[in-house]
Amino acid sequence: MKKTFSLKIVALDGVSKTMIPAWVVLAESGKVEQRKAFPGEIEFSLPEGKYSITVHAGLAYQYSRTELKLERNTTVKIVLRPWFDFKEMGLFTGDAHNHINYPTAPAALVTFMQASGIDMISLCQGWLTPPGAWLAGDGEKLHQYLNSLSAADAHIYMGAEFPKTRFGHVCWWQFPVISDPQGCYDSYHDIEYFAAAGISNKKIVNPAVELPYHGESPLNKIIRWKKQGGVSAAPHPTSWWMDNELASLICTNIAADFCFALLAGKIYDSLTVMGYDAEHIFYQNLWFHLLNEGYRIPGVAETDGDLSGRHQVGDFRTYVYCGSESFKLNPFLKNLAAGKSFMTSGPALITLLDGKYRPGTVVKNDGQPHKLAVSVLSHPAPEEYISWLVLYKNGRPSEIIDVESEKLRSYKHEFIIKPDPGCRTWFLVKVFGRKRPRKKAFADIMAYAESCEKEKNTEYIAIKQAAFTNPYYFEPESFRPPKLLKPAFSGKITDAATHQPLKGVKIEIFNEGNVIKSGITGGGGNFRFSGIPLSAELQISCDGYDRQFKSIYLDYPPLRNYFESVYSGKWALANKLLQPGQVPWTVFRFDELRQMLSSIHWDFELKRTV
């Protein structure tokens, strides 16, 4: 019978020689026995034998791997050499999409963050409190409780993933302190739809009618919480799947309303462009197309995970330039929303334009070339190295630097940036670790995404290490960002039974709860307003008739049909080559949507009050 011995492991910083939180992976005979985050010192009781010990600490330190024959009580001190000093660069990382719930202990969460080098997280529902706990129902107390769990290098905030509807989900980097967060969460889900989508065998032809959405417009919730200080993200924008191959609807996480939100105003503060996979080409394809429409959209990474599942917090990161060596939430959120960041699953990707500009910067396009200095470090795992460095111009690969054969773990390069004269031009940089696209043509995200409609392609999922920046924008003085749509709104109101026009009908236009315009129909039953926000709602009232309350977002028939065409996934069911998570750009019909909402004509029929 094997004897049992104590194995104590101590992790030390290679410079200060002080204890630091870290991860340890213990393996015996090639089989992983335990993987744990620890606060600097950890002790195991193990049977005698030969063990492999791997210790690492986030992306800031090199890995240490040791072989040990355990035949007595042993203490092993592991010195971790620095790999990259993010703090010295003023870089901090966080995540807004984390499902870490009770009964996970707060101490385990803090240790996990410290050992992984994660500076902040916004917790989604659960908030580390028991189901139904009083804390979860008091926003102020919950806010204080989560803040009290934080350490100097691990900051915890109240976030949320809601509303969650067929139109898209919302995650919050900063969520306002609302009075009843748990009650809000319980009632703000599109439960009836998600109980059927991708699951039910029932033939559903028109889900907007057969499975109507109930409740307040998700758009209104986002706007309201933003006005209270919320900072939002549109998560997993092209995610979908099928639980039942016979279902007539897909299971949807698709950001069906993101394009609408761009036309309506800056509703979402950021868009997830890395998540689930290090190289999620369809997230990026949507992003690239919208950037080419003239928008500045800050990309972010997300995990949508926890502390122990397939996706663990920190697998995909957004590193934000904050300009200081200590974390402060407000500068972090401000610069995140400005796109002064890069996304990564491991490599550190530092870029500097003309010796002074970080990603997200808008530079005057005066027709002159610019210098973009790039410095890259691979993921600190010893088997990792750099293969390709890619410069994208307006979404297309402009230059690919191939250093794969050299197996470099650090690399510096200077691109000469040449914006198109007199035109808005944007650039970003991407780096791949040792696994890269199968061929260089696949680095063209937009072309590759189109090819997936004609042939089955999923090999990009195998790419584990990648990083890319937010864009640098070069804009001439003549450039004007896309205008928010505030269309003319006209229509005719008639009697539902006789179809005769109704005179004297009162129409009130509401926006964010306030009446912004009102009018009365004349003899022809017609009405017309100008400059109506797309977030507007209207109330129609007339003596002797039932009152109607409508929302452009929820009820305008062409827009309702548009949303349904995206979230129902009939385009996916019609093309079996498309795989879960693949949504062609054409599905979003951006030009058609913009045209549809440039002028709104909407007729109404009123029923007599019984």
For residues 134 and 432, the model is more confident at 432
Confidence of residue 308 (pLDDT cuts 50, 70, 90): confident
Could you read off the pLDDT of 247-297 as tens digits, one per residue?
999 999 999 999 999 999 989 999 999 999 999 999 999 999 999 999 999
Could you read off the pLDDT of 97-132 as tens digits, one per residue?
988 888 899 999 999 999 999 999 999 888 898 877
Q: Give the rounded percent of residues in the chain with a pLDDT score beyond 70.
A: 100
Q: What value does the mean pLDDT take over residues 72-77? A: 95
What residues does 123 pair with on adjacent strands?
A: 98, 158
**4-80: CATH topology:** Immunoglobulin-like (2.60.40)
Give pLDDT, residue 2.
80
Asked whether the predicted pLDDT for residue 607 surpasses 80, the reply is yes
Residue 446 phi, psi dihedral angles, 5° rounding: -70, -40
Buried-exposed string 179-208: b where 16+ CB fall within 10 A, e elsewhere: eebbebbeebbbeebbebbbebeeebeebb
Q: Tokens 């190295």: give the residue.
A: 385
Could you read off the pLDDT of 358-387 as tens digits, one per residue?
999 999 999 899 999 999 999 999 999 999
Spatial distance between the Cα atoms of 341 and 321, rounded to a whole number of angstroms:
6
Could you read off the pLDDT of 183-192 as tens digits, one per residue?
777 767 888 8
From 111, 83, 155, select the one nearest 19 (Cα to Cα).
111
Q: What value does the mean pLDDT take over residues 61-69? A: 95
pTM score = 0.95
From 572, 7, 610, select the one nearest 238 (Cα to Cα).
572
User: Is 419 in contact with 474 (CB distance < 8 Å)?
Assistant: yes
Give pLDDT, residue 610.
84
Asked if the domains at 4-80 and 488-606 fall in one CATH topology, the answer is yes
Within a 10 A sphere around the Cβ of 395, how many other Cβ atoms? Answer: 20
Confidence of residue 178 (pLDDT cuts 50, 70, 90): confident
Give pLDDT, residue 102.
87
Spatial distance between the Cα atoms of 359 and 62, rounded to a whole number of angstroms:
26
Q: Work out the mean pLDDT of the chain and round it to a whole number.
A: 94
What residues does 28 pair with on adjacent strands?
A: 31, 51
The residue ranges of every structural domain in the chain are 4-80, 488-606
Per-residue DSSP letter, 534: T
**488-606: CATH topology:** Immunoglobulin-like (2.60.40)
